[in-house]
C-alpha cells in the first residue's frame, strides 16, 4: 500500500502588507477533495502540521459560492467556451464564476427541457444571456429575462421560476458547504495530526511522497520551515513524489540548495496560484505581503500557468506535481495517484 505524507498548514492568521492581521487557514477544497481521492484509492495518508496542532479551514473557502455541483461547473464551462473560443479573448475572474448566478445555467436548461422547450433553443437562449451577463457584469437571471438578449420560446420558464431555480442552487451550495465544514472539523485524520518535527528520517523511509494543499496558511508556517526542507529533500533525492496545489508550492521555498549550489528544484516546471488570481481574493485586494508565483519564479522554478485564471491546470515535471488553484484539486490528486502507480 502506498503511503503519503499530507502536510497541512496550521496557521490561522497572516499579516498583510501593512501589518494588519487577516484570518486565514487551509483552503477546504484543496484538503477535502484530494484527501477523499487518496483514501478512495487505498493510499494510507498521514496528516502532519508544522506544530502538531489541528489545522483550521479558511472561512472564505467555506462560503457557499465555492461549493457548487461539479456538473453545474462543467455545464457553465461549456457555456463559457461558446464565447471564449480563444483564451486570449476573455478574462476569467472569480467574480464571473461566483458572483453572477451563472452557475444556475444547468438547472435552468433542465427546467426548460421539462417545460417542453427544444434543448437546442433553450441552450441558445442560455448562451446568449450568459454572454450578456459576463461582458456587462449583470445577473444571469436578469439577462435571461431581458428581451434584448433574444426572444425566448413561449414555453420557457417565467421570471419567478427562474429566480426560484437560482435560489435552489444557492441553497444547495450552502448545505454542501456546511457538510464539508462538519466533515473537515470532525475528521480524525485532520483533528489529530502529527508534528513535522516529530517525524524522524527513519519514518520518512516508510512514505512514498508528500502533498502540500494550499490556502494562505503555507505562506505563514511552511515557506521557511527547516522540517519541510528535510522531508522534501528526502523524497526528492529518491525521486519520490513531491506535490502541491495552489499556495502549497510556498512550502517549496523552504528547500535549500543542491550539490551544485542552486536551489534543489531549480529549473523544474511547476504551476502555482497566479498573481492575478491573488489580486482577486481578499488577501490580494487588502494587500498581500508577497506573491507565491513571484517568489517561486524568483527561486528558480519555470512557472507554467494556464492561459486563463481559475481553470484546472496541472504540471508534472519528473517527480514534482503541482496544481494551479482550487479548481485543480481533483486533477492534481489524480496525477499524484498515477505517480504512486495506484491509478
Reference 223, options 290, 276, 277, 278; nearest CA is 290
pLDDT band with cut points at 50, 70 and 90 for residue 173: very high
pLDDT at 306 over 80: yes
pLDDT in tens, 222-247: 999 999 999 999 999 999 999 999 99
Reference 256, options 227, 287, 277, 286; nearest CA is 227
pLDDT band with cut points at 50, 70 and 90 for residue 10: very high
Beta strand pairing call for 209-212 and 241-245: parallel
The pLDDT > 90 percentage for the chain reads 93
**Whether the Cβ atoms of residue 208 and residue 236 lie closer than 8 Å to each other:** no
Q: Show the cell assigned to 92.
A: 476569467
Q: What is the pLDDT of residue 84?
A: 80
Q: Residue 65's beta-bridge partner residues?
A: none
SS3 171: helix
Query: Max Cα separation, the chain?
Result: 72
- Domains, the chain, ranges and CATH? 3-55+193-339 (3.40.50.880), 65-179 (no CATH)
Cell numbers 523524497: residue = 235
d(CA 225, CA 253) in angstroms, rounded, equals: 9
d(CA 257, CA 239) in angstroms, rounded, equals: 16
pLDDT in tens, 62-82: 999 999 999 999 999 999 999
Range 275-304 burial, b when 16+ CB lie within 10 A, else e: bbbbebeebbeeebeebbbebbeebebebe
Q: What is the pLDDT of residue 147?
A: 84
pTM score, two decimals? 0.96
pLDDT at 151 over 70: no
pLDDT at 29 over 80: yes
229: enclosing H helix or E strand? helix 226-237
Q: What is the pLDDT of residue 176?
A: 98
Q: What is the pLDDT of residue 21?
A: 98
Q: Show the cell assigned to 246.
A: 495552489
47 by Cβ neighbours in 10 Å (0-12 / 13-18 / 19+) ranks as buried
- Supply the angle between the helices 105-114 and 119-136 in degrees, to the nearest 10: 150
Distance of CA 148 to CAs 144, 152, 195, 270, Å? Answer: 9, 10, 60, 45
**Whether the Cβ atoms of residue 296 and residue 307 lie closer than 8 Å to each other:** no
146: left (phi over 0), alpha (psi -120 to 50) or beta: beta
d(CA 109, CA 226) in angstroms, rounded, equals: 53
pLDDT at 273 over 70: yes
pLDDT at 268 over 80: yes
Q: Which of 39-43, 120-124, 329-333 has the lowest mean pLDDT?
A: 120-124
Q: Residue 3's beta-bridge partner residues?
A: 44
The pLDDT > 70 percentage for the chain reads 98
pLDDT at 296 over 70: yes
Mean pLDDT of 161-173: 97
- Mean pLDDT score of the chain: 95
SS3 114: helix
d(CA 291, CA 224) in angstroms, rounded, equals: 15
Amino acid at each position: 500500500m502506498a503511503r503519503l505524507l499530507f502536510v497541512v498548514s496550521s496557521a490561522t492568521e497572516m499579516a498583510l502588507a501593512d501589518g494588519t492581521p487577516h484570518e486565514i487557514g487551509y483552503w477546504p477544497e484543496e484538503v477535502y477533495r484530494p484527501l477523499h481521492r487518496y483514501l478512495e484509492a487505498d493510499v494510507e495518508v498521514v496528516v502532519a502540521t508544522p506544530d502538531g496542532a489541528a489545522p483550521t479551514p479558511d472561512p472564505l473557502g467555506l462560503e457557499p459560492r465555492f461549493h457548487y455541483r461539479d456538473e453545474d461547473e462543467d455545464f457553465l464551462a461549456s457555456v463559457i467556451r461558446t464565447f471564449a473560443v480563444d483564451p486570449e479573448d476573455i478574462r476569467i475572474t472569480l467574480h464571473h464564476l461566483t458572483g453572477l448566478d451563472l452557475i444556475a445555467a444547468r438547472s435552468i436548461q433542465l427546467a426548460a427541457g421539462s417545460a417542453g422547450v427544444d434543448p437546442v433553443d433553450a441552450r441558445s437562449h442560455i448562451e446568449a444571456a450568459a454572454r450578456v451577463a459576463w461582458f456587462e457584469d449583470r445577473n444571469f437571471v436578469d439577462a435571461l429575462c431581458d428581451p434584448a438578449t433574444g426572444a425566448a420560446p413561449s414555453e420557457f420558464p417565467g421570471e419567478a421560476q427562474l429566480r426560484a431555480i437560482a435560489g435552489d442552487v444557492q441553497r444547495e451550495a450552502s448545505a454542501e458547504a456546511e457538510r464539508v465544514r462538519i466533515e473537515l472539523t470532525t475528521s480524525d485524520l485532520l483533528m489529530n495530526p502529527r508534528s513535522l518535527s516529530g517525524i524522524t528520517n527513519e519514518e520518512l523511509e516508510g512514505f512514498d511522497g508528500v502533498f502540500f494543499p494550499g490556502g494562505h496558511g503555507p505562506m505563514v508556517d511552511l515557506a521557511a520551515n527547516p522540517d519541510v526542507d528535510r522531508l522534501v529533500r528526502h523524497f526528492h533525492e529518491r525521486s519520490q513524489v513531491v506535490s502541491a496545489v495552489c499556495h502549497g508550492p510556498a512550502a517549496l521555498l523552504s528547500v535549500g540548495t543542491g550539490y551544485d549550489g542552486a536551489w534543489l528544484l531549480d529549473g523544474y516546471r511547476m504551476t502555482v496560484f497566479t498573481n492575478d488570481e491573488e489580486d482577486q481574493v481578499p488577501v490580494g485586494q487588502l494587500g498581500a505581503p508577497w506573491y507565491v508565483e513571484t517568489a517561486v519564479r524568483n527561486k528558480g522554478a519555470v512557472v507554467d500557468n494556464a492561459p486563463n485564471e481559475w481553470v484546472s491546470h496541472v504540471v508534472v515535471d519528473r517527480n514534482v506535481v503541482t496544481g494551479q488553484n482550487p479548481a485543480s484539486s481533483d486533477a492534481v490528486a489524480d496525477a499524484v495517484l498515477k505517480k504512486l502507480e495506484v491509478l
